Chains A and B, each alone.
Chain A
Amino acid sequence: MAVELGAIGAVAPASFRERTLSAPWPPLFVLAPAVLVGAAMLLPLGYLIWRTLGAGPEAWDLLARSHVFGTLFRTTVLAATVTGATIAIGVPLAWLTIRTDLPLRRLWAVLTVLPLVIPSYVGGMVVVAALRPKGLLQEILSGPFGVDRLPEIYGFPGAFLTLALLTYPYVLLSTRAALWNVDPALEEASRGLGRGAWTTFRRVTLPQLRPAIAAGALLVALYTLSDFGAVSLLRFDSFTRVIFLQYESAFNRTLAAASSLVLVALALGILLVEARARGRARYYRSGAGAARRPGVVRLGRWRWPALAFVVAVVALALAAPISVLGYWLVRGVQAGEPLRLVGEGALNSLYVSSLAAVATVLAALPVAILTVRYPSWVSSLLERVSYIGFALPGIAVALALVFFGARYATPVYQTLGLLVFAYVVLFLPVAVGALRASLQQVHPHVEEAARSLGRSPLRVFLTVTLPLMRWGILASAAGVFLITMKELPVTLILSPIGFKTLATSTWSAASAAFFAQAAAPALLLMLVSSVAVGLLMFREPQLRR
Chain B
Amino acid sequence: MSYQTFQRLLPAPVWIAALFVTLLALLLVACGGSSAGKLTIYSGREESLVGPVIEQFSETTGIDVAVKYGKNSELIATIREEGGNSPADIFFASDPGALGALSDRFATLPDRILGLVSESFRSRDGTWVGISGRARVVIYNTNELTEADLPDSIFDFTDPKWRGRIGWAPTNGSFQAMVTAMRIIEGEERTRQWLEGIKANDPKEYPKNTPIVQAAADGEIDVGFVNHYYLYRFLAEQGESFSARNHFLTAGDAGGVVLVAGASILDTSDSVEEAERFLEFMLSPVAQQYFAGQTFEYPLVEGARPQVGLIPLSEIEIPDLDLSQLVDLEGTLKLLRETGVLP
Asked if A and B touch directly (CB within 8 angstroms), the answer is yes
Contact partner, A133, options B171, B220, B237, B343, Cβ 8 Å: B220
Q: Distance in Å from the Cβ of B342 to the closest Cβ of chain A?
A: 5
A420 within 8 Å of B by Cβ? yes
- Docked Cα-Cα span, A498 to B70, in Å, equals 12
A205 within 8 Å of B by Cβ? no
Count of interface residues, chain B, beta-carbon cutoff 8 Å: 68
The answer to whether B12 touches A467, judged by C-beta atoms less than 8 angstroms apart, is yes
Count of interface residues, chain A, beta-carbon cutoff 8 Å: 57
The answer to whether A497 touches B67, judged by C-beta atoms less than 8 angstroms apart, is yes
| Nearest A-chain residue to B27, judged by Cβ | A355
| Nearest B-chain residue to A149, judged by Cβ | B219
Tell whether A250 pairs with B210 under 8 Å between CB atoms, given A417-B30, A497-B66. no
| Nearest A-chain residue to B207, judged by Cβ | A511
Q: Distance in Å from the Cβ of A543 to the closest Cβ of chain B?
A: 15
The answer to whether B40 touches A406, judged by C-beta atoms less than 8 angstroms apart, is no
Q: Distance in Å from the Cβ of A84 to the closest Cβ of chain B?
A: 26
The answer to whether A466 touches B170, judged by C-beta atoms less than 8 angstroms apart, is no
- Docked Cα-Cα span, A158 to B20, in Å, equals 45
| Nearest B-chain residue to A414, judged by Cβ | B87
A456 within 8 Å of B by Cβ? no
Contact partner, A512, options B16, B68, B208, Cβ 8 Å: B208
The answer to whether A406 touches B78, judged by C-beta atoms less than 8 angstroms apart, is yes
CB neighbours of B77 from chain A (8 A): 247, 250-253
Chain A 49-68, CB within 8 Å of chain B: the 1/0 string?
00000000000000001110
| Nearest A-chain residue to B206, judged by Cβ | A235
Contact partner, A497, options B68, B81, B204, B214, Cβ 8 Å: B68
The answer to whether A406 touches B82, judged by C-beta atoms less than 8 angstroms apart, is yes
CB neighbours of B177 from chain A (8 A): none
Tell whether A245 pairs with B171 under 8 Å between CB atoms, given A4-B3, A358-B23. yes
A359 within 8 Å of B by Cβ? yes
The answer to whether A134 touches B12, judged by C-beta atoms less than 8 angstroms apart, is no
Chain A 137-164, CB within 8 Å of chain B: the 1/0 string?
0000000000000000010000000000
The answer to whether B73 touches A420, judged by C-beta atoms less than 8 angstroms apart, is no
A246 within 8 Å of B by Cβ? yes
CB neighbours of A511 from chain B (8 A): 207-208, 211
B340 within 8 Å of A by Cβ? yes
Main secondary structure on B side of the interface with A: helix
Q: Which of B107-115, B261-269, B329-337 lies at the binding interface?
A: B329-337
The answer to whether A403 touches B73, judged by C-beta atoms less than 8 angstroms apart, is no
| Nearest B-chain residue to A239, judged by Cβ | B343
The answer to whether A134 touches B16, judged by C-beta atoms less than 8 angstroms apart, is no
CB neighbours of A259 from chain B (8 A): 343
The answer to whether B23 touches A251, judged by C-beta atoms less than 8 angstroms apart, is no
Chain B 1-32, CB within 8 Å of chain A: the 1/0 string?
11100110000110110010011001101110
CB neighbours of A508 from chain B (8 A): 47
Tell whether A249 pairs with B23 under 8 Å between CB atoms, given A402-B81, A406-B85. no
A486 within 8 Å of B by Cβ? no
The answer to whether B85 touches A410, judged by C-beta atoms less than 8 angstroms apart, is yes
- Docked Cα-Cα span, A468 to B337, in Å, equals 56
CB neighbours of B87 from chain A (8 A): 414, 497
Q: Distance in Å from the Cβ of A396 to the closest Cβ of chain B?
A: 15
What would 9 A/B residue contacts be, using CB atoms closer than 8 Å? A132-B218, A235-B204, A247-B77, A248-B171, A249-B342, A252-B77, A410-B82, A511-B208, A514-B210
Taking A249-B73, A402-B78, A470-B6 as known contacts, 11 extra A-B pairs with beta carbons closer than 8 A to each other, sorted by chain A number, are A132-B220, A251-B101, A252-B330, A259-B343, A355-B27, A415-B30, A420-B30, A467-B12, A497-B68, A512-B210, A514-B48
Write the residues of chain B forming the contact surface with A, with a CB cutoff of 8 angstroms: 1-3, 6-7, 12-13, 15-16, 19, 22-23, 26-27, 29-31, 33-34, 36-37, 40, 46-48, 66-68, 70-71, 73-74, 76-78, 80-83, 85-87, 101, 170-171, 176, 204-208, 210-211, 214-215, 218-220, 237, 329-330, 333, 336-338, 340, 342-343
The 3 closest A-B pairs by CB, nearest first: A134-B218, A415-B34, A467-B12
